[in-house]
Amino acid sequence: MGSQKRQIFFQERDFQQAWNVKSAPSGFFRRLRKEDRLPRQILSETAHFLGGALLAHDFVLFQNGGLPQLERRVGPLIEEILLRPAPSTNSDGTVPMRVCLHLSHLNLQANRMRYWPCPTRAPASVSSMDIGQLEIPPCSVIWNLGEDQDVLSDLVDWVQKLALPWFEIFENERELHRKLFRGEITGIHLDTAMELVISEFGTFEGARFLDQCVLADSEIGDKVRERTSRILKSKERGVMGHDVISNLAALAASYRMIRR
């Protein structure tokens, strides 16, 4: 029995279980896997098929550590579509893959040097996620790819439908400004949204974002204000990490957007 061409998961636990499952291939596929020819061939064919379809959108195919990625540069933006094969092939010879999106912003990286713990290591990354997060409802998706051209065509349609409009939000200043202030961009957390506002529209708009979207929030506003004040009184650099409130406070303190 062949694998489903696409598997959709709404729980991360279910996705990880399917992604890391160990297949039990026949002797024929075991020999192919041992030489590692079949997965590489399918991965390469998929990348070139997708790359050809996105060539008109100025995406270029690269190899990143042996794995294919499609990249487009628009001003300070670096937009990437990454193909990630699962650890194991399926017993029918198809290769499970996921499609991930990665967005970097070179101006954001330059600004981060102001408040990052180690300025020379400030990242340019804005967001990284499974493209299924752009679906409604959000999900994670495994594509089982082989010789079926219909599956490749469906994959291309899916990327064009979801990935391209998402990237284009960041290329349109007016739309980006509106959606950042409304919190309407999937994959962008509140602290990163504030960083983007500062990078794209300046510190005045950054302060306005802080007032309207952070300090006015009854759940986090007082926490951010208090933590910012603590950083300013200690005269130490705020620490950027995984805590959104701490990150917002580090930003506000770095740009002196809140008085002690």
What separation in angstroms does the CA of 78 have from each of 58, 65, 90?
12, 18, 33
pLDDT computed for residue 33 by the predictor: 46
pLDDT computed for residue 3 by the predictor: 65
Q: Confidence class of residue 22 from pLDDT cuts 50, 70 and 90? A: low
**Burial environment of residue 213 by CB neighbours within 10 A (0 to 12, 13 to 18, 19 or more):** buried
**Residues above pLDDT 70, as percent of the chain:** 90
- Checking if the pLDDT of 30 tops 50, the result is no
| Sequence ranges of the domains in the chain | 6-171, 182-254
Record the pTM: 0.89
User: How confident is the model over 19-30, as a mean pLDDT?
Assistant: 57
